[in-house]
Structure 1
Amino acid sequence: MNALNLIPLAFKKNLDRERMFLLLHGIIGLIVVIIAFNAIMLTTARFVLISHYNKLKNNTYLVNSGLINIQNDVVNINKKISDAEKIQSDFTKLSHLISDAQNLIPNGIIVDFMYIDMKESALRFSGVSNSRETLLQFKNNLETASFIKKLDSPLSNFLDKEDINFRFLADLQKNIYNK
């Protein structure tokens, strides 16, 4: 087949340039459309990720606040347990001491005041005795008691014969009534 070339050369070059321009225009247009599509996709993805991040942040805050509440509860419970252990370690059952001290009081002695200080291991008595003999018996009972280490008795306790106001100060044995 023979081809006739009826188009002048200058016009042919214009047509070639126009085809090249249209081809480049199409390629560039396609690239612009792809870039625009990617920009729209990235913008949409950004909004979705921001929304998801905010949801996670709120959920994490709820979990963390719940965790903080639980940790505070655990700390409070541990503090109460340590306080209870401290109280129990320092606990002294005074009812045994009072019962033992009461058994030492003979008839004729009225104890008006009894002070017990377990930290200082001190025991104080004051009261009234109907006679010097009962007061001496009470003093001897206190001196021979197993829970008393030392007894201080002022001489003024024994000056009168009857209706004697007395006071005794005793040092207790350490840790004899603990637990």
Structure 2
Amino acid sequence: MFLHKIDEEFLLKLLEAKDAERVFEITNKSREYLREWLPWLDHTKELEDTKGFIQVCLRDFAENKSVNTGIMHKGQIVGVAGYNQLNWSNKTAYMGYWLGEEYQGNGMMTRVAKALTDYAFKELKLDKVEVRVALENQKSRGIPERLGFVNEGCIRQAEWLYTHYVDHIVYGMLAKDWSM
């Protein structure tokens, strides 16, 4: 089991089968909001889809390939964040995150991303944390920018988003540069 206390309000916990209903509920409530930038919403139409996602997360965690956690705020899951991929040979974590719409705009995700970055360097002894964000997604881009990540460039047409491609900005933080 993975638990990581951020502060008195926040905790990251490994997603488990029992979390599927809550994660699906947040997804459903925020479906149109999240769909603007996340490509998996049309493939998450019922509770079984979220259960399947969590099963994959648990398998990948057991195989040391990723760590996807529920963001617990005052005891309730409000979103998902973690390392979508861990590349042990290059000592790199690829961070991803999303919050339910009603929890946006309070600095929650910046605190979560800071904690995940800190954990990657101090606990996992990785050398780099990378975040890829759609070029036009200003809210999400603000998170690594506030944390001092370096804009390492643009990957053109990096992701198919329902009806069109979006470019990604790649942000990176090296362990030697992390001072937060």
TM-score, structure 2 as length reference: 0.27
Structure number having the greater strand percentage? 2
Larger radius of gyration: 1
TM-score, structure 1 as length reference: 0.27
Structure number having the greater helix percentage? 1
